[in-house]
Amino acid sequence: MSTTSVVEAWTEKPLVRYVDQAGARLVVVMTTAGQVLAQHGFVRAVDLMAASALGAAIMASSAALAEQLGERSFGALFHAGRRHGIHLAPCPTPRGALIVLTVFGRETSIGLVELFYEEFAAALRQAAPVDQVREPVLATDFEADLNRSLSSLFRR
């Protein structure tokens, strides 16, 4: 089943449109630290958290290798497998540098993914807000909750 989850609402409209247009199975928008900002598609295709950590690591190591070689960046990369392909690309936005992982199957092609990715990246850039100063999120007395949660996590 296709599902959508977004941490920041501005990503949703361009994301859903991109998945439909490109015929992708799953698209994950993540920060360069490997945290999922949004995803749309068949989540059972992959472990989202693990995919994000690995995707961010691939992009970070590619960028570091580019720097070693005196290149500004290597841009997008893709891998084709027997049943799935992945397209992994950086996406600079006013919200900060993001990374987009597209997982696709045989029903589409890398050409289509690349074509619609450019539109998607532009739409994300346009929709992204500039970072704002964050208000307090948690209550000041959160520590009792934290201790209770960790105790249950470690079955104490």
Partner 1 sequence: MSLVNFTTREITCKIVYYGPGRSGKTTNLQYVYSQVPAERKGQMISLATQADRTLFFDFLPLDLGSISGFTTKFQLYTVPGQVYYNATRKLVLQGADGVVFVADSQLRQLDENLASLQNLQANVLEHGVDIRTLPMVLQFNKQDLPAELILSPPELDDALNFRGLPTFSADALHGPGVFETLQGIAASVLRRLSEGGGGIRRL
Residues of this chain that interact with partner 1 (CB under 8 A) are 5-9, 31-37, 47, 49-50, 53-54, 57, 60-61, 64, 133-140, 142-143, 145-150, 152-156
Q: Number of C-alpha atoms within 13 angstroms, CB side, residue 122? A: 6
Q: How far is the CB of 21 from partner 1 (least distance, A)?
A: 25
AA identity, residue 67: E
Least Å distance between CB 125 and partner 1?
Answer: 20
Q: Which is nearer to partner 1, 70 or 140 (CB)?
A: 140
Q: How far is the CB of 11 from partner 1 (least distance, A)?
A: 11
Nearer to partner 1, 113 or 128 (CB): 128
* Contact criterion met (CB below 8 Å) for 38 and 28: yes
- The least CB distance from residue 103 to partner 1, in Å, is 16
The secondary structure of residue 8, as a DSSP letter, is S
Q: CA 130 to CA 68: how far, in whole Å? A: 31
What is the C-alpha to C-alpha distance for residues 45 and 130, in angstroms, rounded to an integer?
32
Closest CA to 53 of 80, 20, 83, 31: 31
